[in-house]
Every structure is written in C-alpha cells, then in structure tokens.
Amino acid sequence: MSSLRLWISLGILVLLLTACSTQYPETCPSSTPVGLTNANEIASDDSLLFRFPLDESPIDDNLYFGWFGVSNECTPDIVECYEFPERKFHAAEDYKRPAGTPVYAMADGIISYSGRAGGYGWLILIDHPQANLYSLYGHLSPSRWKLKAGTDVERGDLIAYLGDADENGGSKEQPLVPHLHFGIRAGQIADYPSRGEWRYMGGWIKLCPQNVGWLQPSVIITSQEIPAGGYPQPKVGFLTRLGFDLFIASLYTVGGAVFIVANRKKTRFLLLIPGLVAVVAGIIFNHRGVTRSNILPVIGILILAVGIYYSIQRPTPKPQNRS
Ligand SMILES: [Zn+2]
C-alpha cells in the first residue's frame, strides 16, 4: 500500500514538473532588422503604403535591447542583455532614440488604443484594416502631446513623442533607456485577447512571436506589399480566448485532486480521469508545438493503464478468521 502511495506521489510530481517545463518553446528564429537606409525617401513618397515610424533609419548604433524574435537570455544575438525571471521572446524591433523624438503612423489607419500600459509608459496601437495589420508603438511619453484613441490617421501623421527614462515604463529608481518598441501584427486588435501570451499589446512573450501573428517590422515596411485580402492572421482558438494558461492550470489541479481522492478513498478507477487529463493536455501541447510534450500522453496512458487495472480487478475477499 505504501509503495502505491509513493508511486502516486511521484506521478503527481511528474505531472507538476511537466506543467512547469513543457509549456513554451526554448528557441525561436530571430532576425536582425532589414537596413532601411532610405527611410527618409520612403517617408516622403506619398504613393507608398508604409513608412518607418521615425525620421531616421534604424542603423545598427541605434538598435537597443532586441531584434525581432530574440529571447531575453544573454546571447551574442542581443545588442544588450536584458534579463527577465523567465524566458520570453521579443515581438518587435527596438530603436534607441532620444526622449522627445517624434513618432509617426506607419500607414493609414485608426488609433485603436492610446493610454498607459504597464512597462510601456504610454502605448499607442493603430489598426490598418486595408492591410489587415495593426502597429504597436511602445515607450511613448505620457507627459507630452499625443493622439487619442478613435482618431483617424494617415501614413506619416505625428502620433506621439518618445518618453523620458523615468516615464516611458522606467522610473526614477529604475530608468529605462529611451527607445521605440515598434511591432506589427497580422489582424486587428479586436481579433486578440487582452491578456495572456496572445494579448494584443504583447511585447515580450513566452510563445514564438511569428507563431502568433507578429511580423518583422522592417521587413513589412521595406516590402511595401499587402497580400490579396490583407496579411493572414493566425486563428485564435477558444482556449486562447479563455486563457490557455488558466485552463491548463485547472486541468492539472483537477487531475492532482482526483489523484489524491482516488488514493484516499481507495476508488482507483478515478485514476482514469487524471490519465485522460494528461493525454488531452499532451495532445493540446503537441498541437501547439510545445517542446518535450510527447512525455505527457505517455504518462497519461500509464495512469490510464493503472486506473483500468484497478477498475477491472475484483475486490480481494478478506481472509476469514476461524476460531
Ligand atoms: Zn522592445
């Protein structure tokens, strides 16, 4: 009996460990920005669809924390290391410029968000329905002039200025080097949830940015192209809208609780439930391209096998005491 408890405890431990370690990819493809040597030329040509959001080109000296798709870990790919407690990928390109630098709309559109937002200081999002894109401008100045949400903009309209180091998401104690965090994504902000790794204002995310609709900004701008029907956006699943992390955490909690109850009450057929949970979670993880998720269905099948074994086993008759 005690060895069974040991196995069950080990099972729960393994489930919890896989929950922590297998949810997100370890690496993503990352790319340096395409050199926009003719940014001013592009900006002044009104026949073009897109322009760079700053007056100058993003030459190498002006790159900051992250290229598109890099992780926050210190690797030779990153201009400056920027460490978070957990691995995340950069869904944009960063351009270092002085505070007060004007920032312009990259294309015609409507401002769908303009407000304070966490580590961004002031954030502006612009929907570009003609291309099925939206653009993201982070670390703007809350104290300087800026456009309000709902404003129609044309390509090249001034929308805001870069913020000072203590108002752009940084503080007096922890100033943040003034820079523009510039993102472009397929779809409109209404297509995405407001929370989680798919959130419409995502900057550093745990999923590969290119897998959730983020595009490399300098590539889109230099291409000056809109595919027929606009840029195709990834399908945002029901689980994502619900809050994928929350859902998976609930699955594990329920699975763990059933494990304990099944063991306590000696109703081990209940093990079928956590077994199924592990199999389903494994299939979902696999479907989402999560590394090392193959182990989950295997664990699930093992638990199922134990559950089935106990379900079909007849109760052992108690030995009769003969006096
Ligand atoms: Zn950034």
In a domain, 286, yes or no: yes
How remote is the CA of residue 270 from the centroid of ligand 1, in Å?
48
The candidate with the shortest Cα–Cα distance to 206, out of 67, 111, 91, is 91
In a domain, 25, yes or no: no
How remote is the CA of residue 65 from the centroid of ligand 1, in Å?
6
How remote is the CA of residue 62 from the centroid of ligand 1, in Å?
13
How remote is the CA of residue 222 from the centroid of ligand 1, in Å?
20
How remote is the CA of residue 6 from the centroid of ligand 1, in Å?
47
> Which residue's entry shows tokens 């007849």?
314
In a domain, 246, yes or no: yes
Q: What pLDDT score was predicted for residue 21? A: 43
Tell me the sheet residues that pair with 181: 94, 138
How remote is the CA of residue 80 from the centroid of ligand 1, in Å?
12
Last residue of a domain, one of 216, 232, 248: 232
How remote is the CA of residue 48 from the centroid of ligand 1, in Å?
26
Run means of pLDDT, 10 residues per run, the chain, 323 residues: 65 58 69 70 83 77 73 61 73 92 97 94 97 98 97 97 96 92 96 87 92 93 92 82 68 78 76 83 70 75 85 68 61
Looking at the structure, tell me whether residues 113 and 156 fall in a common domain.
Answer: yes
How remote is the CA of residue 124 from the centroid of ligand 1, in Å?
14
Looking at the structure, tell me whether residues 178 and 256 fall in a common domain.
Answer: no
Predicted ipTM beyond 0.95: yes
Looking at the structure, tell me whether residues 283 and 188 fall in a common domain.
Answer: no
Looking at the structure, tell me whether residues 96 and 215 fall in a common domain.
Answer: yes
The alpha carbon torsion through 15, 21, 23, 29 (nearest 10 deg) reads: -160
Query: Where residue 50 sits, what CATH number does that domain have?
Result: 2.70.70.10
Looking at the structure, tell me whether residues 211 and 295 fall in a common domain.
Answer: no
d(CA 119, CA 139): 8
**3-state SS, residue 142:** coil
Give one word for 188, left, alpha or beta, with left for phi > 0 and alpha for psi -120 to 50. beta
Question: What number of residues does the chain have?
Answer: 323
How remote is the CA of residue 189 from the centroid of ligand 1, in Å?
19
Q: What pLDDT score was predicted for residue 317? A: 64
Looking at the structure, tell me whether residues 131 and 155 fall in a common domain.
Answer: yes
How remote is the CA of residue 204 from the centroid of ligand 1, in Å?
7
Q: What pLDDT score was predicted for residue 151? A: 97
Pull the structure tokens for residue 145.
């002039």
How remote is the CA of residue 281 from the centroid of ligand 1, in Å?
32
Looking at the structure, tell me whether residues 271 and 246 fall in a common domain.
Answer: yes
How remote is the CA of residue 138 from the centroid of ligand 1, in Å?
8
In a domain, 26, yes or no: no
In a domain, 320, yes or no: no
How remote is the CA of residue 216 from the centroid of ligand 1, in Å?
12
Looking at the structure, tell me whether residues 128 and 268 fall in a common domain.
Answer: no
How remote is the CA of residue 23 from the centroid of ligand 1, in Å?
23
In a domain, 46, yes or no: yes
**3-state SS, residue 153:** strand
The candidate with the shortest Cα–Cα distance to 33, out of 64, 51, 58, 62, is 58
In a domain, 192, yes or no: yes
Last residue of a domain, one of 232, 248, 278: 232
Looking at the structure, tell me whether residues 6 and 76 fall in a common domain.
Answer: no
Looking at the structure, tell me whether residues 185 and 113 fall in a common domain.
Answer: yes
Domain containing residue 14: 2-20+240-312
How remote is the CA of residue 66 from the centroid of ligand 1, in Å?
6
The candidate with the shortest Cα–Cα distance to 255, out of 237, 231, 272, is 272
Looking at the structure, tell me whether residues 52 and 191 fall in a common domain.
Answer: yes
d(CA 173, CA 266): 57
How remote is the CA of residue 236 from the centroid of ligand 1, in Å?
23
Looking at the structure, tell me whether residues 87 and 197 fall in a common domain.
Answer: yes
Last residue of a domain, one of 175, 198, 232: 232
Pull the structure tokens for residue 55.
């007056």
How remote is the CA of residue 272 from the centroid of ligand 1, in Å?
45
For the chain, how long is the longest CA-to-CA vector?
Answer: 105
How remote is the CA of residue 185 from the centroid of ligand 1, in Å?
14
d(CA 248, CA 254): 10
Residues 6+ apart with CB under 8 A from 220: 50, 133, 184
What is the number of domains present in the chain?
2
